[in-house]
Every structure is written in C-alpha cells, then in structure tokens.
Chains A and B, each alone.
Chain A
Amino acid sequence: MAPKDDFGFSRRDFLKTVGVGGIAAGVAGPPEAGAQTAAVGPGAVPITLTINGKAHRLEVEPRVTLLDAMRNRLNMTGAKRVCDRGACGACTVIVDGRTIYACSALAIEMQGKNIRTVEGLSEGTVLHPVQQAFCEHDALMCGFCTPGFVTATVALLERNPNPTAEEARKALDGNICRCGTYSRVLEAALSAKGVKRG
C-alpha cells in the first residue's frame, strides 16, 4: 500500500534538491509511461526502466531512487548502497554511456535511458574482460565496492581503451574501497584487454 500525502514536507524537500523539472519531463517523456501526463505522485506511478537491454515495468513513488528501484523492486542487488549520497561509487551504473551514482538519480527520471549495470556485463558464466582482470589481479577483497569499481572501469575503457595510470586513477576517484585494494584495481584497469567500445 502506498503512503498518502501525509508527509509532503519531506518529499518536496527531497524533490527540490534533485530537480522537479527533470522528474516531470521524465514521466511525460517515454511512451511506456502511458497517457497520464498530469502531475504524478505522491503515490506509486507506473514506470518502465530499460536495464541491460531489457524493459522492466514497475510501480514506484516518484521519490524512489534508481538504486532502490533496482535493489528493492527488481531484485538486482549488484549495485550496492553504501554512503547514501553520491560519495563512494558502490552504486555506479552506466546510463547512456556515462557513469552515474544510482543512489542519486530518481528511478522515474531514468525512463527512456539505456541503463547498464554490473549484472549485464558477463554473458552467462563468461566474465567481462574487466571482471576477469579484477579476479586475476585480486582487485577485490570483501567485494562490496567491487561492482561499482568494475562498472566504472568498464565505462572508462569503453571511452579510452588505453588509459594512462593517471587517467585510470582519475576515472576511478569517485569510488571508495575500505579494504584498500586500490593498487590492484589500478593494475586490473590497466591490464584488462579486449574491451569493446560501448
């Protein structure tokens, strides 16, 4: 059951910080959203997200982030929630070719976009070259940051297949690893071979 509009103050504050205009445009934009073009919310609204090439129809309140929509509604738990607010990169996904923090994007705004997550990188049991490189170089310890680092590395190498160490560090600076595997992540990023441009 969706909550009624009892708590408007907090939701409006939240929407303000992420930009209400974008949400309205996002809802009105794609044809999957249906004929409804009036203001949406506060209850759940139907949306369609295209994740790893597959369309997912779901109902979420406008305040639900892409990360929570994936994790709590679609059971796609590869992207992790760590810092809650766009500081650590554990929820990194690739949207229309650019990395974004899924914790800081509203699901409703992500309609009509091409969303790629860590789940879409391997084909069956065949790992993506970046995932393979992470395993070979032990660029993972507890593994909680790993999906975010892998995704950020894939995005880097699709843009720039032969980065310098400095470029790789810069590209991964939005991600945090508390176990401290950075040295190995960098080795993996610089050694992954055969990454096609996305």
Chain B
Amino acid sequence: MASWPSSPTLLGKSTRRLDGPAKASGRATYAYDIRRPGMLYARIVRSPHAHARVRAVNVSAAEKAPGVRAVLPLVDVSQPDAAKAMYQGDEVVAIAADTEEQAHDAARLVTVDYEVLPHLATVEQAMRPEAPAVFPKGNVTQGSLEEEGDLAAGFAAAAHVVEGTYSTQVQTHSCLETHGCVAEWEGDRLTAWVSTQAVHATANGVATALGVPQTNVRIITEYMGGGFGSKLGPDFEVVVASKLARQAGKPVKLMLDRKEEQLGTGNRPSAYAKVRAGVDAQGKFVAFDAETWGTGGAGQGAGFPLPYPVYVWTSRRRRHRDVYINAGPQRAMRAPGHPQGSFITEVVIDELADKLGMDPLELRLKNLPPEEPNRMWGKYFQMAAARIGWSRRHKTGDPAPGPIKRGLGCAANRWGGGGSQQTRGHAEIHPDGSALIRIGTQDIGTGTRTVLALIVAETYGLPLGAVKVEIGDSRYPFAPGSGGSVTIGSVSPVARIAAEQALGQLVAKVAPSIGADPLALAAKDGRIFVKDDPSTGVTWKEACTLLGTTPIVVDSQWEKGLSSVGTSGVQFADVEVDVETGVTRVKKIVCVQDTGLIVDKLTAESQCYGGITMGIGFALYEHRILDRNTARMVNPNMEWYLLPGPSDIPEIDITLVDQPERGVVGLGEPPTISTAAAIANAVANAIGARVRDLPVTPAHVLAALDRQREGGTL
C-alpha cells in the first residue's frame, strides 16, 4: 500500500509555485487571453427586468449589422410559460460578430417586447401571504425540520436564554476572470478553452447540452482567473459560444463583462435565523431552537448548517425554508452555508456568555466534543488565544475613554474535504530521464500544478523542475471538479501511487544491472542506489537509459490511506471600532488550522491568507444590494460592490498544524468560514452592543449602538 515518505526532502517545505514566473510576467494564457484565427466575439442580450415574459424578439436589424455572423435565440417565444426572464440579466439572445465593438453594436439593435410581470425583490416581499405567485412551486419552500433531544427539557434546564434574529447578506463570487470561453469546431469535434473549475464536468455537460458524443468535446483550462465555486460547470456560456461557433463556422469568444458576472453567475445565498438558545448555570449548552430562511435568488439551495456543528447542544430544533426572489441564482460559494451558520451560532454563543457572565472562550471550551485528529478545537483555541493575547480581553464594551474602542472575538470552523476515489492519473518516465505526471484536474490558483510536481519529484528523488506536469485538459485522466476542498485529497494520492508504480518499474530494471534486490533500492538526490550501501548505484539518467527505447507508462487510480476527510480550525480577531463613525478596522487575525500533511507550506499559507481576506470582505464590506422596488442590482460592478483592498488587510498570523499522519487535507474552504464570526464578536466586545446582521457596516454599528441606548441588545 502506498504511503507518504517518513522523512521527505521536498514535501512540507516552502516551495515557490512552478507557474509563478508565467503569471508574474503576463505570459500565462487564460481563456480570456485566447485568440484563434478568424475568431468572433459574442455578446448576450439580457433582460433589464427582474421578471418578464418575452413576447417577441426582433433581431432583423442586428442580423444586418456590420460584422455579424451568428444570432442565437436563447428563449423560445412560442412557449409563453417558459419564455420568461426570472431575474435582471437573464439571457434572451446571443450574437457573434467579427469584432467586440461590432458585437456590442449589434446587441443594441435587438428589440425585445417584454411583458413586465410582478416580481419579488426581497425575502420579506416573497414571504408575505399576499405576495404574487411568481415561482411555479411557490415562493417559499415547504421547509425541512431537524430535531434532536428534548427541547422543552433543555429550556427548562436553562439558566439564561438568548433570543434574537440574525442575518447574513448575499455575497457574490466576483471572480476576476469572468465566466466564459473560446469555442472552436473542427468538423464535429469541439475544443473549448474555458475558465472553469471542472474540465471533465464541463466536457460532459456541454456534450450533453449540444447533443454530441462526449468523445468529441475537449475542454482546456491551462490557467483560470478564480472560481470560488461558481465555475464548477457546465457553464451556460460554453454552450452558447459553442452553438454560435457552429452556426458561424468560426471560433467564438464569449467572455462576460463585469455587470453580467455580478448579476447572474452565482452568489452565496442570504441567511436569516430567528433563534432562541439556552445555557444552564454551569455553562452547558442545553437548547437551540431556530426558524431559518434565506434566498438563493431564482435558484434553489439557501440552506446552511445551524447550530454550526462544532459545539454540542443537548437539544436542538431547526426549521428551514428557502425563499425565492427575482435575483440571480446562487451557486456553491467557498464553504457553502458554513460562514452563515458559523456567524449566527458564534454570535449567539457570545451573547450567552455575556448573560452568564463567563469568558466566551471558556464557555466554548466547555461545550466542545472530545478531541479527535479532525476536531482539535480545544487545543487550537488555546494556541490561538495565546497568539492574540486573549488574557488582555476586557468584558463586553471597551471601558477606554474616547471614540476608538478595541475588542477581541473568536470562532471555530470545520470542513469535510477528502478525495474522490474516481480520480485517475498517468505517469511516464522516458529513456532520456524526463518524467511526466498527467491528471485531468485544474489549478484554480490553489497551487495544484506545483503540488503534483512536488509529490512526483519527491518520489523519484529528483529536483522539482525535473517533473513535467500536465493538467487542465478533459482528455487527461479523470479528476473531480475543484470544489469542496477535495482537489488535493484526490490528485495527491494518485500522483504518489502512479509515481511509486513507475519508479518500481525503473528500479526493477536497475536492480539486476547492479546485482541488487529491487526492494533494497532507494531513489534520492538524482540517484537510484542500495539503501544500506549508497555508493552502489546509478544516476537517474543512467537508470533511464536501461529502458532502451521503451518509456515506462503507468495508469493508476486513487486509493485510501493517503488523505483524510474532516478538518478543523479556529480564528481570532482583534478590531478597532470608531463609535462616532461606526467604522470598523480589523487590526489582526490569528488563524490556527489543521493542514494534515503539508505538501507546500507556501501555497498552504496562501490559502489561509486568501480565505481570511475573503472572510473580511464578508464581515465588513461585500453586499449584493437589490433595489427594493425594481429588484435590479444597485452595485453590479467593482466600485460599489466593495471588495477588500490592500489597505483593508490587517496583520494575519497563521499557524498551520502539520499532522502528516493524517495524509493530505483540503484547505481551500475552511479558512474563510470563521473570519466573519470572529470579527463580529470582536466588534461587540469593543462597542458593547451586538451587530446581528452582516456586513458590519458603519450603519449597522451605529444602529446597534442606538438600540443599546434604547434598552439594548445585550
């Protein structure tokens, strides 16, 4: 059975990304950068209305416009029930022309006859009994009920009860590279260069949508500019570009513009929870009762875990309903549901701690499940508390004079991850000594390319640069989409296994040539030698010449034992709030995160920096704002949809907890889960009032302070 090396040379160190120079020099080619001979540019005409029936589409002027080569209707006006735009930005017709400017001009010539229909802009509007029936299965789902333990007994045992309504906003993925592709046909075969997190899922989905054999579709993703869950494929843009390309007989580029990206390519659903929670006199969580709802816009799936499954509650009940509104549909976004559930739960816990008069960290420690390798919150809380200086924490409400108040807060996270047993890999060792690993995964900025090279180079005892990595092509062996933090757990074991098998074949050639037992040989420092007698051996190059003209070719599959499911971590925040302006500044974030076996420390840390930075955005700035009358997005751009920038980033202190015995563990999602909860708790600790709604904007802070003066939230 395959295993990881006990004393690695390359693994666990800080190694620079292999593709750093290509990215830093601008040579890395993204889907947006692809130019093909004769390539056309496409635009999509979209509904300006949040809810409308498309009665007629007139494209005659557009078809005659200069440069136009293809026009593709995206709604069937002969089906009045189906020919509807369900949100602003819903697609109506697509156009391809010789130049981008001509495509824009032609799109403006399309006239659409809309019958504007009643729409729902907010969950409050959608949940009113008299709300118009906008969605075929109802505006609000029946709901699901989860129950565990005896809630009545739990509340009877409670010494203190907290009641409140909490909410989190809609966050958009805001990928820098928008969704899109370049699609090109050669006869009945399609090649598409796609900005995707899933080359295989895209190939299969697009083939099905186009009605062509899956063997005829090839998806290439050499580099891609961010996905965060919104590009798990198959994306609609690929289907549209492929159809336009087929119609025009030329390659077509369809990359969305920023407004389109913000309107319709996905978002993190909002979350609302009306909570009643109880703690007994000793500080044991005895009851958690919640009515929850949220909206994924015109799409399904606004669920989130609650109470967030870190702490143990002796009884709990939760009823959840999804609410539909006329807005862009949700898509999986970095740890779907978790930041929402974490924020609500961790803020409730801090409120319980205040009622109890207990330190909130002490209260958390009292209610954790037993420690296990994948749930080490108790240990991590104490490590992080020391790093942020928790002992200097004052009680809720900074007693210091003046408008600037300082506060500390904390929160925990958990995630599943693991790996897909469907993953396959291909390794080659050539007679000239060159080596290759090929897997149909993709590097979405996480460092997958570098991780694969490190693992194979480690196995062969070669320097990193000696291994060629081929990824980002649906013709390569199957790997899952890069979602759920499963990429490293899927591809690392396969790379290790393939390399071990290939090395085994090479060693079998070397052993007789030096009169040694193959099992006694090791590969290290560019040599294959007898473990107990290192002077007896050959260089890697010499070994490979023994292959004659036949390279070693290995196809392998995923096995258990090299990766783990389940991970945990904690984050602490130190903030400063100006109670006159309501402005919050994060001073420091401390992150302690289980990382299993670290393959590349540098890129692992970057995942934490990235998750925390996105968490700061969720905590303080990001907010998809819909006009409550028109349901149009007020901020579908990067000026008013506020993303954190360089000056918003605090000191970030990261401790990666290396547990090599666990094998590799995914790290893309967990570090973004608890940032907002920790910041919100730190804000309350600073100002002495609770902000129960994200983002923690100046307006929310000032409103919380006002409520506090009027009788309070605490």
Point out residues on A near B: beta carbons under 8 Å.
1-4, 6-7, 10, 61, 63-64, 68, 71-72, 75, 77-85, 87-88, 90, 117-119, 121-122, 125, 127, 131-132, 134-136, 138, 140-147, 150, 168-170, 172-173, 175-186
Contacts and interface: CB of A to CB of B under 8 A. Distances in A.
A144 B108 contact: no
Highest count of chain B CB atoms <10 Å: which of A80, A84, A138:
A138
Given A119-B26, A135-B17, A142-B224, A82 B101 contact: no
5 contacts: A3-B102, A85-B638, A90-B176, A182-B645, A185-B646
B609 A136 contact: no
A143 B32 contact: no
Given A138-B17, A143-B225, A180-B644, 10 more contacts: A77-B33, A84-B258, A141-B446, A141-B610, A145-B176, A146-B24, A173-B647, A180-B612, A180-B613, A182-B645
Contact of A80 (B177, B613, B646): B177
B148 interface: no
- Nearest 7 pairs between A and B by C-beta? A78-B26, A180-B613, A142-B445, A144-B225, A143-B23, A135-B20, A77-B33
Nearest to B104: A10
Contacts of A125: 21
Interface in B217-261: 223-226, 228, 255, 257-259
B83 interface: no
Given A80-B176, A131-B25, A7 B108 contact: yes
Given A80-B225, A131-B21, A118 B258 contact: no
B100 A169 contact: no
Interface residues on B, range: 35 or more
A174 to B, nearest CB: 8
A79 B602 contact: no
B656 to A, nearest CB: 14
A85 B646 contact: no
Contact of B606 (A117, A132, A138): A138
B626 interface: no
A127 B25 CA distance: 7
A6 B638 contact: no
Given A1-B66, A178-B643, A182-B644, A118 B32 contact: no
A176 B649 CA distance: 12
Contacts of A77: 26, 29-30, 32-33, 35
Contacts of A61: 101
A65 to B, nearest CB: 10
A81 B647 contact: no
B24 A140 contact: yes
Contacts of A138: 16-17, 20, 602-603, 605-606
A118 B602 contact: no
Nearest to A127: B21
B267 to A, nearest CB: 14
Contact of A83 (B101, B224, B637): B637
B26 A3 contact: no
B100 A183 contact: no
